[in-house]
Amino acid sequence: MTRSQFLATAIGISALSQIKCALPQTPFSKELLLGKGKPDLRNDQVPLLEEAGSAFEKMQQAAKAEGIQLKIVSAYRSYDRQKGIWNRKFKANAAAGLSPEKNIAKIITYSTLPGTSRHHWGTDVDLIDGNPPAEGDVLVSQKFHNQGPYAPMFEWMQKNAASYGFLLPYTNDAQRPGFYYEPWHYSYAPLSIPMLKAFLTLDLKTLLTPADLLGKECVDEAFLKSYLQNNVLGIAAALKE
- In degrees and rounded to multiples of 5, residue 13 shows phi and psi of -65, -45
Q: What is the pTM of this model?
A: 0.86
How far is residue 5 CA from its own chain's centroid? 23
Locate the domains of the chain by residue range: 3-14+32-240
CATH number of 3-14+32-240: 3.30.1380.10
| Residue-by-residue pLDDT tens, the chain, 241 positions | 444 443 444 445 455 545 444 444 447 999 999 999 999 999 999 999 999 999 999 999 999 999 999 999 999 999 999 999 999 999 999 999 999 999 999 999 999 999 999 999 999 999 999 999 999 999 999 999 999 999 999 999 999 999 999 999 999 999 999 999 999 999 999 999 999 999 999 988 778 888 899 999 999 999 999 999 999 999 999 999 7
Give 20-36 pLDDT, tens digit per residue: 444 444 479 999 999 99
- pLDDT of amino acid 203: 87
Sheet (strand 70-74) strand order: 70-74, 124-129, 185-188, 166-167
> What pLDDT does 208 receive?
85
